[in-house]
Amino acid sequence: MTSPIIEKRQLKFKEALINTLKEMPIIEVAVKRVGISRDSYYRWKRDDKEFLKQSEDAISQGIEFINDMSESQLVTLIKEKKMPAIALWLKHNNPRYGAKVKMSPTLSEFENLDIDDPSLEKIKEITEKYEDELRDELIKEINEKT
């Protein structure tokens, strides 16, 4: 059984940690800011169901806070005409620029394919139309990774 003084100090640390997690939802950073160990945090989560709920809620709020801040910074970069920011926004907010569905036919499907089949004309047209776009997208992804 812990003394009332220790319990009071733990309560202050728990409250401080909950408030910190609302702004910085990374455990390692939050516990260092508050001045407690990760072990204490995980022990409190294990032993105190109310603290567990509060910390999970605080982390969710912190993630939303960081997301809002990130979106704000992204919009600032878009206004500054930074192409990576523009591309990121469009990729995730406009279906025309999102990830394309890629199909992987099996070898047997290729073997049974009649290249002269008129029903394949539309597929040929689409393939030709997007070939340049796909090549440009691949080059862009390679450039972003380097």
Q: Which tens digit of pLDDT belongs to each residue from 20-60?
A: 999 999 999 999 999 999 999 999 999 999 999 999 999 99
How would you class 3 by CB atoms within 10 Å of its CB: exposed for 0-12, middle for 13-18, buried for 19 or more? Answer: exposed
pTM of the full predicted structure? 0.61
Kindly tell me if the per-residue pLDDT of 14 is higher than 90.
yes
Name which of 105, 75, 102 is nearest 90 in CA terms: 75
Q: Mean pLDDT for the chain?
A: 87
Looking at residue 8, its pLDDT comes to 93
Torsion of CA 76, 78, 83, 86, to 10 degrees: 130
Q: Of 99 and 71, which is predicted with more confidence?
A: 71
CA-CA distance, 133 to 16, in Å (whole number)?
51
Name which of 93, 109, 99, 104 is nearest 133 in CA terms: 99
Q: Which tens digit of pLDDT belongs to each residue from 94-124?
A: 888 877 666 666 766 667 777 777 877 877 7
How would you class 8 by CB atoms within 10 Å of its CB: exposed for 0-12, middle for 13-18, buried for 19 or more? Answer: exposed
Name which of 60, 70, 123, 66 is nearest 92 in CA terms: 70
